[in-house]
């Protein structure tokens, strides 16, 4: 395995762990704490909200710091830091304590998306930008999918605290390995940053602004608004489906699943199959462009969310797989557009801004789930998500058929 492929593997494992850690509590709350702490699912969910707010808000400073200091260094901090935070979370004994510790998990989890995605785009050479982002995204999706399976298994065999401790120890070990592996790259990165700082300011200014005309500025403004609006709505849809799916399956698969492990297996199968949609979408992005692909994905979600209310057992499982295909398929599209347009030296910061919007919306989905489920049940939630994906479809229809490319790195990918 070449050094580039090894580094890409580290980045993919990081994406897997990032989503695993952020969803451990979802299964722990649904399958263990409702009984051990005597609280309802709706009462427990809000305690995860500060962690997801941190997951979003700290993306911007994480991206900025990686551009200013070191992307490799920030990735090492991510692996070790989130492992330590997860281990401490296992020792929480009250809802307030677990809320505070999940906040720190969110702070460390915020590092991955702006930093890791910027590195993935930079390394996209043989494959297209869309394909590289999609492969990386599949690993993140597998982290989402296996969170219910791994957590359910650990709950059944070691208790809910083991579900935080064991992945934490693994992440720390990987972080130490990543730091040792990336030290030469980190040194080269610092040399390159020093050379850029020493370059004439006029040249830097020219590379940053170019000769952008009025029409291009208007196009970029329209794209920025569409990217941020659809990122916010897509995050609400993605968080609502991935966070709530274990509970949805627990309620609607009574004739199929009778234990925490069985629910975890069903969620894993749905997530694993749905994550493959990202590979298809990544390849289509490199051939058809984001407008056509995004509209197709949004239309599929409107359909499946619209027919989900009232379904149970195998029919519900099939339809859940359908809307999860859309939820996962939409993930690489906004990242693809940013990767194509943002300049290399600012890419992590731009991704950071995008994920601030995404994860603040993502955090807002948690009280939405609790409120809707507590008052009307999941059928109403599915109708709300159908309206959200219809709004995404309308916004995406305003995209231009081709994207402006401001940086040569993704254009060569």
pLDDT single digits (tens) 158-167: 999 999 999 9
pLDDT single digits (tens) 30-57: 889 988 998 988 889 889 888 988 887 8
Average pLDDT over residues 273-290: 86
pLDDT of 203 above 60: no
Average pLDDT over residues 363-381: 85
pLDDT band, residue 302 (cuts 50/70/90): very high
pLDDT band, residue 339 (cuts 50/70/90): confident
| Domains of the chain listed by start with CATH number | 3-195+214-404 (1.20.1250.20)
Average pLDDT over residues 384-411: 79
Average pLDDT over residues 303-323: 90
Alpha helices in 199-259 (DSSP H): 201-209, 214-252
Assess contact for 151 and 268: CB atoms under 8 A. Answer: no
For 83-135, the DSSP string reads HHHHHHHTT--SHHHHHHHHHHHHHHHTTHHHHHHHHHHHH--SS-HHHHHHH
Assess contact for 265 and 392: CB atoms under 8 A. Answer: no
pLDDT of 199 above 70: no
Average pLDDT over residues 381-388: 93
pLDDT at 74: 94
pLDDT of 209 above 60: no
pLDDT of 202 above 90: no
pLDDT at 174: 97
Output 318 or 402, whichever has higher pLDDT: 318
pLDDT at 409: 40
pLDDT at 213: 67
Burial 186-200 (b: 16+ CB within 10 A, else e): beebeeeeeeeeeee
pLDDT single digits (tens) 160-186: 999 999 999 999 999 999 999 999 888
pLDDT of 357 above 60: yes
Assess contact for 181 and 10: CB atoms under 8 A. Answer: yes
% of the chain at pLDDT higher than 70: 90
Separation between Cα atoms, residue 278 and residue 281, nearest integer Å: 5
- Of 378, 156, 140, the closest CA to residue 257 belongs to 156
pLDDT at 412: 34
pLDDT of 128 above 90: no
pLDDT of 292 above 80: yes
pLDDT band, residue 277 (cuts 50/70/90): confident
Separation between Cα atoms, residue 257 and residue 70, nearest integer Å: 46
pLDDT of 99 above 80: yes
% of the chain at pLDDT higher than 90: 36
pLDDT at 413: 32
């Amino acid at each position: 395995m070449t050094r580039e492929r090894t580094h890409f593997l580290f980045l993919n494992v990081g994406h897997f762990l990032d989503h695993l850690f952020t969803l451990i509590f979802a299964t722990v709350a649904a399958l263990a704490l409702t009984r051990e702490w005597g609280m309802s699912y709706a009462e427990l969910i809000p305690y995860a909200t500060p962690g997801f707010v941190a997951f979003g808000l700290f993306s911007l400073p994480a991206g900025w710091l990686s551009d200013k200091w070191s992307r490799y260094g920030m990735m090492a901090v991510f692996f070790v830091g989130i492992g330590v935070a997860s281990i401490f979370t296992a020792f929480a004994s009250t809802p307030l304590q677990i809320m505070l510790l999940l906040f720190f998990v969110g702070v460390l989890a915020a590092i991955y998306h702006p930093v890791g995605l910027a590195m993935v785009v930079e390394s996209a050479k043989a494959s297209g930008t869309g394909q590289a982002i999609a492969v990386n995204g599949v690993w993140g999706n597998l982290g989402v999918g296996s969170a219910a399976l791994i957590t359910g298994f650990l709950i059944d065999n070691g208790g809910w605290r083991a579900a935080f401790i064991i992945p934490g120890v693994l992440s720390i070990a990987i972080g130490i390995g990543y730091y040792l592996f990336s030290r030469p790259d980190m040194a080269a990165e610092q040399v390159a940053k020093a050379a850029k700082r020493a370059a004439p300011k006029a040249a830097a200014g020219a590379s940053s602004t170019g000769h952008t005309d009025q029409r291009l500025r208007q196009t970029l403004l329209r794209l920025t608004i569409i990217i941020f609006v659809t990122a916010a709505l897509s995050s609400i849809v993605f968080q609502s489906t991935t966070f709530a799916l274990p509970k949805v399956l627990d309620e609607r698969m009574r004739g199929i699943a009778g234990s925490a492990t069985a629910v975890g297996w069903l969620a894993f199968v749905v997530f694993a199959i749905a994550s493959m949609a990202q590979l298809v979408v990544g390849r289509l992005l490199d051939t058809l462009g984001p407008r056509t692909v995004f509209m197709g994905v949004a239309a599929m979600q409107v359909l499946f969310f619209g027919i989900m209310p009232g379904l149970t057992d195998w029919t519900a499982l099939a339809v859940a797989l359908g809307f999860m295909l859309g939820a996962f398929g939409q993930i690489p599209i906004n990242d693809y557009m940013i990767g194509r347009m943002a300049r290399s030296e600012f890419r992590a910061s731009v991704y950071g801004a995008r994920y601030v919007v995404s994860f603040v919306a993502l955090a807002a989905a948690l009280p939405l789930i609790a409120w809707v489920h507590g008052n009307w049940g999941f059928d109403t939630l599915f109708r709300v998500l159908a309206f959200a994906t219809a709004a995404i479809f309308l916004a995406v229809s305003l995209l231009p058929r081709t994207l402006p490319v401001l940086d040569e790195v993704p254009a060569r990918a």
